[in-house]
A and B are shown apart, each in its own frame.
Chain A
Amino acid sequence: MSTDQSQRSIRCLVAKVGLDGHDRGAHVIARAFRDAGFEVIYSGLHKAPDEIVQAAVQEDVNVLGISILSGAHNTLVPKIIEGLKEYDAFEDTLILVGGVIPDDDKAELKALGVAEVFGPGTPMEETVEYVRQNAPER
């Protein structure tokens, strides 16, 4: 019956965290996600980790994409993950990181619970497809 038909949509928070004013990449991703049919919430620039946590929890996003180009990922990402755990939002949120991340740090971020790290030059289709395949159900 039509009324029982679920109308799921993948919701993504595209987040800029910390003192990093480079938002071109975040804008491109937001647009690509929109065109892929996702609902994208963009955080705006210079957000603190607890603001990102607040947004991710309240918006109940399936996917949290953190864009960091400042090099502060080892400090900021763990804070966000801690915050998500505090609100029971860590387990069912797909956490992605985009930006310039050294290989050693990549492994560390993944050990913390980041699902994937996308560096510069990643084809957009790859990221979109990854989200489609891995976004947790609601």
Chain B
Amino acid sequence: MSESAALLDDLLAGKHRALARVITKIENRDPGYRELVSGLYEHTGNAEVIGITGSPGAGKSTLVDKLAEHYREQGETVGVVAIDPSSPYTGGAVLGDRIRMASNVGDMDVFFRSMSARGNLGGLSTATADAVKAMDAFGKDKVIIETVGAGQNEIDIVGAADTVTVLVPPGAGDNVQMLKAGILEIADIFVVNKADMDGADRTVQELTEMVHLGQGSTTVDAGHHGFDEVEMDLEMPADTDPWKPPIVETVATDGEGVVDLVETFAEHRAFLESSGELTRRRRQRVAEEIRTLLRDDAAGLVADELEDSGGVGAFVDGVMSGDTDPYTIADDVMAPIRDCVEDQ
């Protein structure tokens, strides 16, 4: 039995160490990680994947802790993937989300994994989606993804979670901020955390107004969660009411509103299942995953081809001396690959 196969068996048998090691291999892009993830695939699809995003200090980690505690009280197992930024200079990182997990210490059925973004800019790391698969296959009932403290445009979470929750702290800005494109568009559920603070009412009101403005145009439009091509074959049935993102108020530090939020998650889940939206999102996710893999592989082939043609240095010399230009070089290097594709 290969090392990967043995590791996979251990993971499926419920060994925590094996789950931890599989995630490490996925993160490190170790040789053999593809075999692992491909082996995980058939065991996935049972976990509910909840994404939590919002600005730094909005209370994501504290809320995740309380959510995990709540699910554990109901007898459900929980996996958490929490991403923090990596240094643009050294690649190092301090991963501090775990400190907030005070309610679940010593409970191995909350599997908490900190991840560095490793230079990725969309709020997740490249390995996040695969790490979620590992937790799903391990048998976690709920998997919670906590993104990097997000600004306006870190929206990778859409491609990884079934339910996207955006935390908006009180006083997050006026109604023009609410009109802006980006993170506020991706929410399935809004949470105004720190709801005991001044300005919380106003933030709730502005969000309500924003959600209201969006009704009938973009809310659950097929292109809304799309990356590039939109699949039209799973259009929502006309008689289904579109999902209107609810706004939930919480005070994560003392657990206020957490029950409301969990109920809202359940409602959204029911909507996803009854409307066919879950299938549509998962199809889109798989499509995007296939495209990403192909893109990476193609990039690898191009890198090899570049190496075979003498490396980038010689080409740069050519451009600097005025003999050629980057476009001509790209055409030349791509020529053999293009020929292969056209021959088929």
Contact = CB atoms under 8 A, between A and B. Distances in A.
A133 interface: no
Nearest to B87: A34
A54 interface: yes
18 contacts: A3-B299, A4-B300, A5-B29, A7-B118, A9-B91, A31-B94, A34-B87, A35-B87, A39-B114, A41-B114, A42-B94, A50-B105, A50-B106, A54-B106, A55-B98, A57-B17, A59-B20, A138-B28
B90 A35 contact: yes
Contacts of B106: 48, 50-51, 54
Nearest to B108: A54
Contacts of A87: 16-17
Contacts of B297: 1, 3
B20 A37 contact: no
Nearest to B25: A138
Given A1-B300, A2-B300, A37 B98 contact: no
A42 to B, nearest CB: 6
Given A1-B304, A4-B300, A41 B95 contact: yes
Specify the main secondary structure of chain A where it touches its partner.
mixed
B208 interface: no
Contacts of B31: 4, 6
The interface centre, meaning the residue of B16, B95, B118 with most chain A CB atoms within 10 A of its CB, is B95
Contact of B92 (A3, A36, A88, A138): A36
Given A54-B106, A89-B17, 6 more contacts: A6-B28, A31-B94, A41-B95, A58-B16, A59-B114, A138-B24
Contact of A35 (B25, B92, B114): B92
A40 to B, nearest CB: 5
B93 interface: yes
Contact of A39 (B30, B93, B99, B303): B93
A138 B21 CA distance: 8
A129 B21 CA distance: 25
A39 B93 CA distance: 5
B79 to A, nearest CB: 10
Nearest to B30: A6
Nearest to B95: A41
Given A33-B92, A37-B92, A54-B105, A9 B29 contact: no
A40 B112 contact: no
A69 B299 CA distance: 51
Which 9 pairs of residues, A with B, have the shortest CB-CB distance?
Answer: A1-B300, A60-B20, A44-B99, A34-B92, A37-B90, A2-B300, A3-B296, A60-B24, A37-B92
Interface residues of A, number: 38
A3 B297 CA distance: 6
B280 interface: no
The interface centre, meaning the residue of A8, A31, A59 with most chain B CB atoms within 10 A of its CB, is A59
Given A1-B304, A41-B98, A8 B28 contact: yes
Interface in B79-116: 86-87, 90-96, 98-99, 105-108, 111-114, 116
B187 interface: no
B303 A1 contact: yes
B95 A58 contact: no
Contacts of B286: none
B296 A2 contact: yes
